[in-house]
Structure 1
Amino acid sequence: MKETRFISILSKIATVIAICMYVSYIPQIINNLHGSYGAPLQPLVAAINGLLWCIYAYFKRERDWAVFWANFPAIIFGLITFFTSLPSLF
């Protein structure tokens, strides 16, 4: 297998795994909404990290869509998890 084909396959697998990692926040979001609040710091940091990686991937000379889409769910799910983990908001 040529390196470029290997990297292409690897980037697709890594993107799917990263998306699964951030989608796994859904149970914590549900728990937060039911009053069993999780810690807010980690999802907030994940959202900021995802935002920075998305900015990097989008604005580099040759856009890196695998990096962008792997980190985009971190922004959404990280922020939702963060805000729902603040008991005074809900």
Structure 2
Amino acid sequence: MTNQRFISILGWVATFTAVCMYVSYLEQINLNLSGQKGGILQPLATVVNCSLWVAYGLFKQKRDLPVALANSPGVILGLITFFTAF
């Protein structure tokens, strides 16, 4: 396997694991909606961080779609978690 192929596979595996990490926010959203409110700092930090990575992935000279795709769920689910925590 060539180094470039390995890096490509690594990027997509990392994308999958990042999406799995952000999907874990679904449990916190459910708890927030059922009255067991969580903190707002972590989801807010997630939104800021993931927004920066999505922008990086989409706006660099040669787009980095794995980075943008991996962080997109973090923006959406982080926002939902943040707002349901109130």
The alignment's TM-score, normalised by the length of structure 1, stands at 0.93
The one-letter code of the counterpart of 2:71 is N
The one-letter code of the counterpart of 1:6 is F
Residue 2 (structure 1) aligns with:
2
Q: Which runs of structure 2 are paired with 1:1-80 in the superposition (5 Å)?
A: 1-80=1-80
Per-residue deviation at 1:18? 0.2
d(CA) in 1 for partners of 2:27, 2:59: 33
CA RMSD of aligned residues (A): 0.5
Identical residues among aligned pairs (%):
53
Where does the alignment leave 5 or more consecutive residues of structure 2 unmatched? none
Query: 4+ runs of 1 displaced by more than 4 Å?
Result: none
d(CA) in 2 for partners of 1:30, 1:73: 16
Per-residue deviation at 1:67? 0.3
Per-residue deviation at 1:79? 0.4
Per-residue deviation at 1:75? 0.4
The one-letter code of the counterpart of 1:45 is A
d(CA) in 2 for partners of 1:17, 1:85: 25
Where does the alignment leave 5 or more consecutive residues of structure 1 unmatched? none
Per-residue deviation at 1:51? 0.5
Per-residue deviation at 1:12? 0.8
> How many residues get paired?
86
The one-letter code of the counterpart of 1:58 is L
The alignment's TM-score, normalised by the length of structure 2, stands at 0.98
